[in-house]
């Protein structure tokens, strides 16, 4: 959760400052960025793709 927050706000603030405020290490942030998506995240992306496809097929209804 902390790493995701740093990732989302790194355009507005420096990574060093965000890491200091969120009490995480810059090295951990770099590891988070290079880590592949977990199985649960991949399954959630598949489900979301199916929902979007069905919504598109039903003309958004």
Q: Where are the domains of the chain?
A: 2-57
Q: pLDDT-derived band of residue 10, with 50, 70 and 90 as boundaries?
A: confident
Q: pLDDT-derived band of residue 11, with 50, 70 and 90 as boundaries?
A: confident
pTM of the full structure: 0.50
∠ Cα 55 56 58 (to 5°): 65
* pLDDT at residue 50 in the model: 95
Question: How many CB atoms lie under 10 A from the CB of residue 19?
Answer: 20
List pLDDT tens digits, range 16-53: 888 888 888 888 888 887 888 889 989 999 999 999 99
């Amino acid at each position: 959760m902390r790493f995701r927050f740093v990732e989302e706000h790194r355009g507005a603030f420096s990574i060093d400052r965000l890491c200091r405020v969120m009490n995480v290490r810059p090295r951990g942030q770099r590891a988070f960025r290079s880590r592949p998506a977990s199985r649960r995240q991949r399954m959630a992306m598949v489900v979301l793709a199916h929902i979007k496809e069905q919504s598109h097929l039903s003309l958004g209804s």
